[in-house]
Amino acid sequence: MEVVILGGSRPIGKLAADAIEKLLLRKPDAVLGLATGSSPLPVYEELAGRHAAGLDFSRASGFALDEYVGLPDGHPEQYRNVIRREFTDRINIDPANVHSPDGSAADIPAACDAYEAAIAAAGGVDLQLLGVGTDGHIGFNEPGSSFASRTRIKSLIEQTRKDNARFFTSLADVPHHVITQGLGTIMDARHVILIATGAQKAQAVRDFVEGPVAAICPASVLQFHPHATVLVDEAAASALKLADFYRHTYDNKPSWQGL
């Protein structure tokens, strides 16, 4: 796991966008794993700018990490709409190639199986963007999630509903159920880039980067990922024991290595 401590959201967005741009230049039909929430917004902003300057997404495809269950179609907080609004409508990716779990499916288990099959048919995710919840969740794999889990329905912990209430009119409007890629699904991505900013993430970052690998902290499974990059600002890094070592390592990294 590589930990990079940067001065704020802007440099984090640029560095993650550099990795995505490099991937697209090497593999124009790359498969991107897309997170929602606040953490990836600087990356989407940066990529929209790079698209305006010529970066081509026409052969790329995208898979959202998760989706609320039961929000009516067209609801602004349905993650399929958030992804469009914040990212894919701002670039030239083919809308037919942007996929989300179906949170209004009549047969949820079948929809989850179909989502796994669609990711596999696309050749797997090349680069997965992630945020982390204050309780250490990735996707909506709340504490206790199986490390082997695949896409499935999950219940949200009350803290996550409270954290996400800022996007809704009231806490009561935040759904209790979601469909999320499993931890096993996320671990299959060839490269994962997790972004965490702000002091409210410091404990979760400390727990998953330097704590034991345990289901109580789902993001800790990334310690087993062969290519996991963690981009954090100073506030989110503030509880890390080895912060100076991560800074020293990144500052002295050979330039050919990239992320």
Q: Residues with catalytic annotation?
A: 66, 135, 137, 142
Q: Which residues of 62-93 are buried (b: 16+ CB within 10 A; e: fewer)?
A: bbbbbbbbebeeebebbbbbbbeebbbebbeb
Of 87 and 140, the one with the shorter C-beta distance to ligand F6R is 140
Site string for ligand F6R, 192-221 (x = CB under 6 A): ------------------------------
Q: Which of 210, 14, 180, 1 is nearest to 100 (CA)?
A: 180
Of 111 and 129, the one with the shorter C-beta distance to ligand F6R is 129
Instruction: Record the tokens describing residue 49, joined without a space.
Output: 């700018």
CB 80 within 8 A of CB 94: no
Distance in Å, CB of 259 to ligand F6R, minimum:
19
Binding-site member from 66, 102, 142, 233 for ligand F6R (CB under 6 A): 66
Distance in Å, CB of 45 to ligand F6R, minimum:
14
Looking at residues 14 to 53 of the shown chain, list those that interact with ligand F6R (rule: CB under 6 A): 35-39
Evaluated on CA atoms 130, 216, 182, 225, the torsion sign reads: positive
CB 67 within 8 A of CB 178: yes
Site string for ligand F6R, 116-155 (x = CB under 6 A): ---------------xxx---xxxx---------------
Cβ burial, residue 145 (10 Å; 0-12/13-18/19+): buried
CB 218 within 8 A of CB 2: no
Of 80 and 137, the one with the shorter C-beta distance to ligand F6R is 137
Distance in Å, CB of 39 to ligand F6R, minimum:
3
Whole-number Å distance between alpha carbons of 83 and 64: 8
Does residue number 65 form part of the binding site for ligand F6R (CB under 6 A)?
A: yes
Sheet holding 127-130, edge to edge: 2-6, 228-233, 191-196, 127-130, 31-34, 61-64, 98-99
Of 53 and 237, the one with the shorter C-beta distance to ligand F6R is 237
Distance in Å, CB of 257 to ligand F6R, minimum:
26
Distance in Å, CB of 30 to ligand F6R, minimum:
19
- What is the 3 state secondary structure string of 117-131? HHHHHCCCCCEEEEC
Of 42 and 93, the one with the shorter C-beta distance to ligand F6R is 42
Residue nearest to ligand F6R (CB): 131
Which residues contact ligand F6R by CB under 6 A? 35-39, 65-66, 131-133, 137-140
